[in-house]
Amino acid sequence: MVEGLRAHDGPGPAYEHVAAEHEAYARALEQAGVSLDILEPLEDFPDSIFVEDPALVFSEGAILLNPGAASRVGEGEHLLPVVEKHFETVMRIDHGHADGGDVMVTPDLVMIGLSARTSEAGARSLANLLEQLGHTAQIVQPPRGALHLKTAATLIDEETILTTAEGRSSGLFSRFRQIVVDPGEEAAANALRINDSLLLSANAPRTADRLDSLGYRLALLDTTHINRIDAGLSCMSLRWKAAVLG
């Protein structure tokens, strides 16, 4: 994991710290009412802790993606038998590349961001599969400077987006109420809404104070070392409302 992809020259993560952050993350998910299936590590894929990128999951079915980074190609095949345990319908994109971090599910449509990791061909293929699952898709350009669409924004309730200043100025989220993270706390824009809890980076105290004052139930988590490998709270899990099979 410590050899994973990074888009910057800053300090790298320390294994013991990421392991502790990941353990706290799993506990927070359980406390928010989620049943967990923790997978075995894939030593040949240092970024495989970020299971959100090679697959999408919905109550109606799952879609295997094709990550845009060459070192991540093949992760989906390892997820396939796990996904098939939970879903009767499993599809996969057949052209281009797409990362789950570029996919934001909103109440009325699924936004697919074009980025260095998600190509136009991959986005179009994904949009077609989403339509088959009953979801309307919209292909968009992520806010400037964002690695993924969800690097810069999170849906924190049915009508509110937590985003960066770049996200607000992009106009992508103009139909939502927008809460902009404080300067210097941009990484907190990748939060995670779980049931009635909002998982948020503990490294964003000013943003946390504002969200708390607005009535959000926060679970604050240390993301210092996870952030060093260009990741956030949504990246490390696949989440869905379970449907009864058969």
Which residues of the chain form CATH 3.75.10.10? 14-34+142-234, 44-141
Residues 6+ apart with CB under 8 A from 124: 95, 96, 139
Q: What proportion of the chain, given as a percentage, has pLDDT over 90?
A: 84
Residue among 8, 95, 97, 148 flagged as catalytic? 148
Residue among 8, 17, 225, 235 flagged as catalytic? 235
97 given a catalytic annotation: no
- Per CATH, the number for 44-141 is 3.75.10.10
Q: Which residues pair with 217 in a beta bridge?
A: none
Residues 6+ apart with CB under 8 A from 40: none
Could you say which DSSP state residue 143 is in? P
- The domain defined by 14-34+142-234 folds into L-arginine/glycine Amidinotransferase; Chain A (3.75.10)
148 given a catalytic annotation: yes
Query: Would strands 61-64 and 55-58 be described as parallel, antiparallel, or unpaired?
Result: antiparallel
The two three-digit tokens of residue 210, written as one number = 């504002």
pLDDT digits (tens, 9 = 90+) for 128-137: 999 999 999 9
Q: What is the mean pLDDT of residues 214-218?
A: 97
pLDDT digits (tens, 9 = 90+) for 4-43: 777 767 788 899 999 999 999 999 999 999 999 999 999 9
Q: Where are the alpha helices (DSSP H) in the chain?
A: 15-31, 75-86, 120-132, 165-170, 205-213, 224-227
Look at the block and give the residue holding tokens 């989440």.
Answer: 239
Q: CA-CA distance, 139 to 120, in Å (whole number)?
A: 8
Q: CA-CA distance, 192 to 239, in Å (whole number)?
A: 10
pLDDT digits (tens, 9 = 90+) for 79-94: 999 999 999 999 999 9
Q: Is the pLDDT of residue 145 over 80?
A: yes
